[in-house]
Amino acid sequence: MLISFKRDESELARLAEQIGARWGSVSDAAQHGDVIVVSVPWPAVEEIAAQVQIGDKVLVDTTNQFAGGGVTSIPGGRSAAEYNARRFSTGKLVKAFNTYTSAFQAVGDGRVSEPVAMFLGGEDREAKAVVEGLVRDAGFEPIDLGGWSTIFLMEAPRRTGSVYGESYSPDAARRIASAAATDLNEAARLAQALKQPD
Ligand SMILES: NC(=O)c1ccc[n+]([C@@H]2O[C@H](COP(=O)([O-])OP(=O)(O)OC[C@H]3O[C@@H](n4cnc5c(N)ncnc54)[C@H](OP(=O)(O)O)[C@@H]3O)[C@@H](O)[C@H]2O)c1
């Protein structure tokens, strides 16, 4: 693993050492490995996109457009994921790891007493299969919520009828994803009805 993008390089180096990774520039990170993860505040996405050539690699997008000086609407009424896929000029963007807080995700690794679903979405099946493996490695059950026409259900902000910020059992999440493929109103109803209590 190679990590990048922190204002203080000594902190970046310390973090890399802590997790047994290397560190480098954004383009070093983009050239390293088969999967690139972009996980920066929304206002910084543009700067990263300008420095990165995705090529044939899988791009995991964890970003949420609302937090940290972000925006409340996406140009063209697109989903944030589709907007980012265009910015990075890739069809291999998979949105994942964005619906739960980092604190919640940190206890996913075998320490959650019940299996918990994690939604992901994107247009490329092979890329999604790769990210499903990463989601499992993180201790969650991956649930494919579809592509650009349904992915907004897992995007910020937290609101009635969306799965963003809510947790679900794998069975409940499968029902929501299956409904989303044909009936968005039913998916929204299930998202509200099946969410686990706070
Ligand atoms: N935190 C969560 O619970 C959570 C959960 C799901 C999704 N997300 C989404 O995931 C993305 C990352 O969230 P986060 O909480 O990890 O963000 P973050 O800690 O604020 O920033 C992530 C990284 O970006 C770097 N960075 C930010 N602005 C920079 C700049 N102008 N120049 C250079 N480096 C910069 C930070 O370095 P510095 O240390 O120098 O700031 C840090 O290494 C966001 O889009 C967020 O909405 C967050």
Q: Give the helix, strand, coil percentages of the chain, each rounded to 5.
A: 40, 15, 45
The number of the ligand 1 atom at minimal distance from the alpha carbon of 8 is 40
What is the pTM for the complete model shown?
0.96
Calculate how far, in angstroms, residue 175's C-alpha sits from the geometric centre of ligand 1.
32
Protein residue with least CA distance to atom 35, ligand 1? 6
3-state DSSP call for residue 62? coil
Average pLDDT over residues 75-104: 96
Q: Among 31-35, 68-72, 84-88, 116-120, which is the least confidently predicted range? A: 68-72
pLDDT of residue 106: 87
- Confidence check: pLDDT of 153 > 70: yes
Instruction: Give tens-digit pLDDT for 113-144.
Output: 688 999 999 999 999 999 999 999 998 999 99
**pLDDT band at 68; cut points 50, 70, 90:** confident
Phi, psi of 179 (to 5 degrees): -65, -40
Calculate how far, in angstroms, residue 70's C-alpha sits from the geometric centre of ligand 1.
12
- Confidence check: pLDDT of 191 > 80: yes
Q: Is 1.20.140.10 the CATH number for 34-193?
A: no
| Structure tokens given for 45 | 């996405």
Average pLDDT over residues 187-196: 97
Calculate how far, in angstroms, residue 4's C-alpha sits from the geometric centre of ligand 1.
11
pLDDT of residue 107: 75
Q: Give me the numbers of helices (H) and strands (E) for the chain, helices first please.
A: 8, 7
To which residue do tokens 């609302």 refer?
A: 66
Q: Probe ligand 1: pick from 9, 19, 40, max atoms within 8 Å of CB?
A: 40
Q: Is 125 in the pocket of ligand 1 (CB under 6 A)?
A: no
pLDDT of residue 114: 81
Which residue, among 157, 156, 153, 158, has the nearest Cα to 188 in the 3D structure? 153
- Confidence check: pLDDT of 112 > 90: no
Instruction: Give tens-digit pLDDT for 2-54.
Output: 999 999 999 999 999 999 999 999 999 999 999 999 999 999 999 999 999 99
